[in-house]
Chain A
Amino acid sequence: MDDRLLLIAIGALVGVCSGLAAVALNTGLHFMAGALSGLRTHWWLFVLPGIGAMLSSLFLEKGVREGAGHGVPEVVYSVSRHGGLLRLRSAFSRLISSCLTIGSGGSAGPEAPVVMSGASIGSNVAQFFSLNERQRIALVGCGSAGALAAIFNAPIAGLVFTIEIIVGEWSARNIVPIAVASVAGAQVSRLLQGKQIAFTHLRFEVGITATLAAIGLAVVTALVSIALTRALRGSHHFSGKFPLPFWVRAFLGGCVVGAIGLMLPEVLGEGYHSIRQMVEGSFAPGLGLVLLLVAAKIAATSFTLGWGGSGGIFAPCLVIGSFSGLMYHRFLEMLWPGLSLVNEGCFALLGMAGLVSGILQAPLTGIFLIVEITGGYETILPLILVSALSTTICHAWEPASFYFRDLVEKGQYLRPRTDAKVLADLSIAELVETDCKTVPRSMRLGEFIRVIQQSHRNYFPVVDPETGQFEGMIHLDDIRPYLFDPLLYETVFLEQIMETDVETVDIHDELSGVLARMDAKGLFSMPVVSADRFIGMISKATLLDKYRNELMVQTLH
């Protein structure tokens, strides 16, 4: 069978599997909610999220020894650095741990865990069929798209999120299998859970005033996004300062969340119930309380995720976004009581799009997700505006999105078809030129000139003939002054001319680092020396050839 058809077929299979994973998590959450709902009245319930987060972190660390990370960045790292290789255990570990965290009331979302698990399913299917890296990455994308499509019943959002965030490359080869997987995932979810739109609402009449007001909303959501990003990271650093076992930390974080939840139960869990109310326009609390809720939800999310709970930030984003939208709407109404704005539900919806776009810095994902989960195509104009503006403002303040920030800091943000990716793929071993003539330090200048005659290079490594140890370099420029002075031919030895303090490269060095050193020192070539042995030279001249080859191979299909 043709490779592409095969990939589409396997992609559909992966989509179905990851769809099932998403449905399983959803069912698990419903079950937990049902089981715990009877207890909601007791005052000591604030420890419940604590116990959930503790169990979740213990399960991740001791049960499956996952080496917990956030999930999505790990997938992106593996896609960009290791061709999408993921561990099999990741296919289920996050499902269980996030189910424990969220089900017990922690403020987190089920989306990142299902994306992780879908991606891992895709990767392991690819490993089973011994597919190559490009196909494996496509299947990782299929898994993530299928999972997201299934959990939100939103196939386009699944596709767009995967392309924008996970794969980072818009090409027909990727899009086709991922789109098919998205359809498969959404279909599985519709078959098993019914065709439901998460947040149904009344029809909105969106006029010019609403579109203009959306500009202000974009600023608000951008600010809230930045606050959330900072709070999440801040709480992670803060919790790291306590010399406590990780599970105690998770417990304490969870308890704080539970305590907040005693006063404001809206912040607990994924929070979709309150979104539904807001979009329908039946959310009662006034402006002050909504403002408090924004802050409380940010705090709860930071305490859940930053202190060791497991889950995604997607759902909290939606909740905070709809709170922000509502807050903005009520604020406007207070300023201009006579203003004939659209229903506040519409602003809750716009707020969600703004926050998702701002946090992920992926405007398309925000737009399509909201359109799909609300079925509200009539709001598309202000939606695009809010998403685009919010992304832009956030990008100015936080150059890397929440998912990518750690990768950028570690220099592992390698998107396809970029300079960084090409440099990361090329290794020194592939670039080293080994046709250099080595000379001993005891050689006389006269003999050396004969060596030069027969060589077509400008650099000559000086190597101890007995031990093979690298001792220095001679560049043609070094001997140019003596080249036409036959008197020196028999009296000067190479050790008197050679450069001993040479910048060298190790064969395992990263090319980007080597190039940075070359640029800093103004060098055009450097000797590659491993364990004191001269191996060859790398030079910018040949690098251009190889770089071009690599770039063409990576970008032309």
Chain B
Amino acid sequence: MELKLNEFARCLQMPVTTIERWIRQGRIPAKKIGDSCVFSDTALKKWARTHNLSFCLPDEKQEEKPDQKMETLSEAIDRGGIYYDIAGDTVEQVIDSAVSAMQQLGSDTARRVLYESLVAREQMMSTGIGNGVAVPHPRTPLSNSGIADQMAACFLEKPVDFKAVDKKPVHVLFVLVATTARQHLHLLSRLSFCLRDNSFLALLSQRPEPETLRNKMAEFDQRLNNGE
């Protein structure tokens, strides 16, 4: 086979200077002709394996997992949905009704798993982050439950004492479900950006229409994407 020197170096993920030196010193089973390298594909793969290097030709780049696309708030809320009048007097009850209300959870088993992990998380420490908002989420990502990344906004029927940090009763839940820890942190950081904004808090306390809330979140997404 024949490849340009720099392509060849890229296949081995080494600097061109190193590869050139190795060829010159005869340490690698390849020959240099002009600016190109001539080598046998199989021999080189075998060599790379025994030397703790990786070699893959440009056209057979391993299926790199496409860098997981990070969700925006609007995408997550589209999948999770917006729900009103979630009933219940205690933390468990509200979470139960919220999980029941959420539509995109798949099987009943998944629903129960989610409920149990949300409650377990609350028992550890409240997710009430103040200003009447709580963000219930599982402690570890539910990667094998079959639940997609999503965020559900659940407006409660009546405020519930969530043992929040500021001791205020909670009137809205954002249930966060993520398949990876990174995705979870990403969504949480985006959400917390919104919740620092007073106009957003004011909007939440008015129980906005789904459309209004979505528009507001899309606006925040825009601002975040612009690098704020």
Contacts and interface: CB of A to CB of B under 8 A. Distances in A.
Interface residues of A, number: 17
Contacts of B51: 549, 552-553, 556
> Majority SS of interface residues in chain A?
helix
Interface string A524-557: 0000000000000000000000101100111010
B23 interface: yes
Interface of A: 83, 131-135, 425, 427, 429-430, 546, 548-549, 552-554, 556
B14 A556 contact: no
28 contacts: A83-B24, A83-B25, A131-B26, A132-B23, A132-B24, A132-B26, A133-B24, A133-B25, A133-B26, A134-B26, A134-B27, A425-B21, A425-B25, A427-B17, A427-B21, A429-B15, A429-B17, A430-B15, A430-B17, A430-B21, A546-B18, A548-B52, A549-B52, A549-B53, A552-B52, A553-B27, A553-B28, A556-B51
B22 A556 contact: no
Contacts of B50: 556
B26 A135 contact: yes
A337 to B, nearest CB: 62
Q: What band does the interface of chain B fall in when counting residues whose beta carbon is under 8 Å from A?
A: 10 to 19
Contacts of A548: 52
B211 to A, nearest CB: 33
A219 to B, nearest CB: 43
Contacts of B18: 430, 546
Contacts of B52: 548-549, 552
Nearest to A425: B21
Nearest to A136: B26
Contacts of B15: 429-430
Nearest to A134: B26
A430 B27 CA distance: 16
Nearest to B17: A430
Interface string B1-35: 00000000000001101100111111110000000
A134 B14 CA distance: 21
Nearest to A83: B25
Given A548-B52, A549-B51, A552-B52, A132 B17 contact: no
Nearest to B30: A132
A141 to B, nearest CB: 14
A134 B18 CA distance: 16
A325 to B, nearest CB: 44
A549 B47 CA distance: 12
Nearest to A133: B25
Nearest to B20: A430
A430 B20 CA distance: 11
Ranked 5 nearest A-B pairs via Cβ: A132-B26, A134-B26, A133-B25, A430-B18, A552-B51
A508 B140 CA distance: 50
Q: Which of B14, B17, B25, B50 has the most CB of A within 10 A?
A: B25
Nearest to B27: A553
A294 to B, nearest CB: 45
Given A132-B23, A133-B24, A429-B17, 8 more contacts: A131-B26, A132-B24, A134-B26, A135-B26, A425-B21, A549-B52, A553-B22, A553-B27
